[in-house]
Chains A and B, each alone.
Chain A
Amino acid sequence: MSERAATLRCDRVVARLGDREVLRDVTLDLDARTTAIIGDNGSGKSTFARLIAGLVRRTSGELAVLGLDPERDAADLRRRVALVLSNPDVQIIMPTVAEDVALSLRPLRLAHEERNRRVAAVLERFGLDALADRPAHDLSGGQKQLLALAGAFVRAPDLVVADEPTAFLDARNARTVADHLLADTGHALVVVTHDLALARRCERAVLFEDGGVVASGIAADVVGRYERALAC
């Protein structure tokens, strides 16, 4: 990845869903290649991930993702940010594996040959090349999540936002998915996770509590602080 803007600049961001304040005064700068977002259920982690990905609008505050305003520069941001959700089933749209990956390339309006080449390359990267013509909904849970990753990475995003990507997976598949997400292929990663082992593998971590950031720093330190709080 060539010289790039900071992954995230967040200044006193507030987000409300209905009359409920789900993010309050979040001020954060993220520059690391890999960042884990951790915290209890309902702490605002997923809302924060969706805010970065442009799915949730902020109520107030300043926000820049890859140097772009998610509202003003939504189209540019969509091209550069990929989102991976927790439930593999909801991420499958097209009938077959190859078609589902190719769907991600439609906005780029590539020639068929180039589209097919990129799809084949990413399927091979994620070990799905033998399943290209298989009905996508017939895959196992782990394969479906790898398919979701393939659909995200085929666009060569600058930033991947993953919201609990291993929540529905067994330990082996969770490890495989984590390895792919953490691999240095030119993208930055922000991963919301309850998997503290995955969080520890990131460079930085941010701890959310009640909609606000209570700790941010080296992943091992932040995860350690959270584990100590859980032990109390």
Chain B
Amino acid sequence: MHRMPAGPKLTLFAVVAVVVAALPPVWATVAVAVVVPAALYAVAGMGFGAGLRALGGQVWALRWMIAITAVGQLIFLGLEPAAANTARVAAAVLVAGLVPLTTPVSAMLDALERGLRPLRRVGIDPARVALLWMVTLTTIPVLARHAADVRDAQRARGLRPSLVRGTLPFLVVALRHADDLGDALAARGIR
């Protein structure tokens, strides 16, 4: 799968994610939503074991999203729909998460730009949209590091890291990063 061209791969994953997300809220959906991501990660080209470990890492990263979704669904809808809805949402996100794991960002950027070319007719610049998407994608791990730095700074001051105390410093750091990112893009000749 890692050898597949980026354009068809993105399309395939998008279709799979949409189909899984559209499955009905029944127990069988839970099974499908577990098997499909597991199968895709296993054959993604990382190696069977490494692929499943990567899946495990992604699931762990999504644990709060999964937990909050499950609890909310359980309160309002009952066990079977809660399980199915949570599973299909998680599966869609996990399938989407496979894309950056198996595709160089530059290849995704090229594919996205090619795919968006028809939108030139309505005044949309495919290069800028693709760049915006790419910058968003690559900024996520950077912001995660900044959040970790804020927590470390709190610990260094003898404080227990907390969401309330950490939100404002994180926002300041994130906004500064946005400014720096603008400068970095300008430094490359990219408007």
- Residues in chain A within 8 A of chain B (CB atoms): 53-55, 74-75, 78-79, 81-85, 87, 90-96, 99, 102-104, 106-107, 137, 148, 151-152, 155
Contact A53 B186 (CB under 8 A): yes
Can you name the residue of chain B whose Cβ is closest to the Cβ of A77? B189
Contact A151 B186 (CB under 8 A): no
Give the chain B neighbours of A87 by CB distance below 8 A: 180
Task: Please report the C-alpha to C-alpha distance between residue A54 and residue B186 in the assembled complex, in whole angstroms.
Answer: 9
Known A-B contacts A90-B180, A102-B106; the reply to A78 vs B185 at CB < 8 A is no
- Which residues B164-191 have CB closer than 8 A to chain A? 177, 180-181, 183-191
Least CB distance from A30 to B in Å reads: 20
- Residues in chain B within 8 A of chain A (CB atoms): 104-106, 109, 127, 131, 134-135, 138, 141, 177, 180-181, 183-191
Max chain A Cβ within 10 angstroms of own Cβ: one of B109, B185, B189: B189
Give the chain B neighbours of A151 by CB distance below 8 A: 187-188
Give the chain A neighbours of B189 by CB distance below 8 A: 78-79, 81-82, 104, 107, 155
Q: Enumerate 23 A-B pairs (CB-CB under 8 Å) in ascending A order.
A: A53-B187, A55-B186, A78-B186, A83-B186, A85-B183, A85-B184, A87-B180, A90-B177, A90-B183, A91-B184, A91-B187, A93-B135, A93-B181, A93-B184, A93-B185, A94-B105, A95-B104, A99-B104, A99-B106, A103-B190, A106-B127, A148-B187, A155-B188
Contact A83 B190 (CB under 8 A): no
Contact A106 B190 (CB under 8 A): yes
Give the chain A neighbours of B134 by CB distance below 8 A: 94
Give the chain B neighbours of A84 by CB distance below 8 A: 187
Give the chain A neighbours of B127 by CB distance below 8 A: 106
Max chain A Cβ within 10 angstroms of own Cβ: one of B104, B106, B131: B106
Contact A95 B138 (CB under 8 A): yes
Task: Please report the C-alpha to C-alpha distance between residue A151 and residue B186 in the assembled complex, in whole angstroms.
Answer: 12
Can you name the residue of chain A whose Cβ is closest to the Cβ of B187? A83
Least CB distance from B152 to A in Å reads: 16
Q: A94-B106, A107-B189, A155-B189 are in contact. List 18 more A-B contacts (CB 8 A).
A: A53-B186, A55-B183, A78-B189, A79-B189, A82-B187, A82-B189, A83-B186, A83-B187, A84-B187, A85-B183, A85-B184, A96-B104, A96-B105, A99-B105, A103-B188, A104-B190, A106-B109, A106-B190
Task: Please report the C-alpha to C-alpha distance between residue A182 and residue B158 in the assembled complex, in whole angstroms.
Answer: 46
> Closest 5 A-B residue pairs measured CB to CB?
A83-B187, A90-B180, A78-B189, A104-B188, A99-B106
Give the chain A neighbours of B187 by CB distance below 8 A: 53, 82-85, 91, 148, 151-152
Can you name the residue of chain B whose Cβ is closest to the Cβ of A152? B187
Least CB distance from B138 to A in Å reads: 6
Can you name the residue of chain A whose Cβ is closest to the Cβ of B179? A90
Least CB distance from A56 to B in Å reads: 10
Task: Please report the C-alpha to C-alpha distance between residue A1 and residue B127 in the assembled complex, in whole angstroms.
Answer: 30
Give the chain B neighbours of A148 by CB distance below 8 A: 187
Contact A78 B191 (CB under 8 A): yes
Can you name the residue of chain A whose Cβ is closest to the Cβ of B177? A90
Least CB distance from A189 to B in Å reads: 15
Give the chain B neighbours of A93 by CB distance below 8 A: 135, 138, 181, 184-185, 188
Give the chain B neighbours of A99 by CB distance below 8 A: 104-106
Can you name the residue of chain B whose Cβ is closest to the Cβ of A81? B189
Task: Please report the C-alpha to C-alpha distance between residue A149 and residue B33 in the assembled complex, in whole angstroms.
Answer: 46
Task: Please report the C-alpha to C-alpha distance between residue A96 and residue B131 in the assembled complex, in whole angstroms.
Answer: 16
Least CB distance from A103 to B in Å reads: 6
Task: Please report the C-alpha to C-alpha distance between residue A103 and residue B138 in the assembled complex, in whole angstroms.
Answer: 13
Give the chain B neighbours of A78 by CB distance below 8 A: 186, 189-191
Task: Please report the C-alpha to C-alpha distance between residue A78 and residue B141 in the assembled complex, in whole angstroms.
Answer: 28
Task: Please report the C-alpha to C-alpha distance between residue A74 and residue B191 in the assembled complex, in whole angstroms.
Answer: 10
Least CB distance from A184 to B in Å reads: 22
Give the chain B neighbours of A90 by CB distance below 8 A: 177, 180-181, 183-184
